[in-house]
Amino acid sequence: MKRYRPGFFGLLADIHQDFRFEIAGALFVVGVFLLLIAILGYVPQARTWARSVAVLDSILAGLGPWIFWEAIAAGLVMVIGGFDFADTVKKALEFEKLINTTSKETFLKNRKRIKHLATEALPERYWRRVERKESELKVRE
């Protein structure tokens, strides 16, 4: 059974944990979009083309001199989203490697790390997989 963290920041941490893949992927995509807008604002040939597209012209006109800070924010958002997504994939692969065993001894040896990954780092569906694996291998508390 999943235990939720108390307080507002606990709620944010739980939301991030439960939707980790989605949030990290969305941050990365938003960062790439913002970076493309920054490139359109800085490269003269791209800026000329962007002036002919009404939506892009409105965005660039609205940003005005703030395009520099938008470029910095774009880089930060893209890097944070990319690192978070890479960390999530790394932890999911580690979890898969640890839980895909038919040996009860190997499972018990790695049980602490498996439970840590399932409860603290990955979405709830991983915790349910741990419970199924424990019942499959007939592991007692």
User: Given a cut of 80, is residue 94 above it in pLDDT?
Assistant: yes
Name which residue leads in pLDDT, 74 or 121: 74
Longest dimension (CA), the chain: 68
Give the per-residue SS3 of 30-60.
Answer: HHHHHHHHHHHHHCHHHHHHHHCCHHHHHHH
> Residue 13: what pLDDT?
86
Per-residue pLDDT at 6: 87
User: At 2, is the secondary structure helix, strand, or coil?
Assistant: coil
With a pLDDT cut of 70, the percent of the chain lying above it is 98
Judged against a pLDDT cut of 80, whether residue 1 lies above it is answered with no
24-66 confidence digits (pLDDT tens): 999 999 999 999 999 999 998 999 999 999 999 999 999 999 9
pLDDT at 16: 87
Q: Is the pLDDT of residue 141 over 80?
A: no
Question: How high is the mean pLDDT of the chain?
Answer: 91
pLDDT for the residue 2: 62
Chain centroid, CA 140 distance in Å? 33
Task: Provide, rounded to the nearest whole percent, the portion of the chain with pLDDT above 90.
Answer: 71
Note the pLDDT of residue 139.
Answer: 85
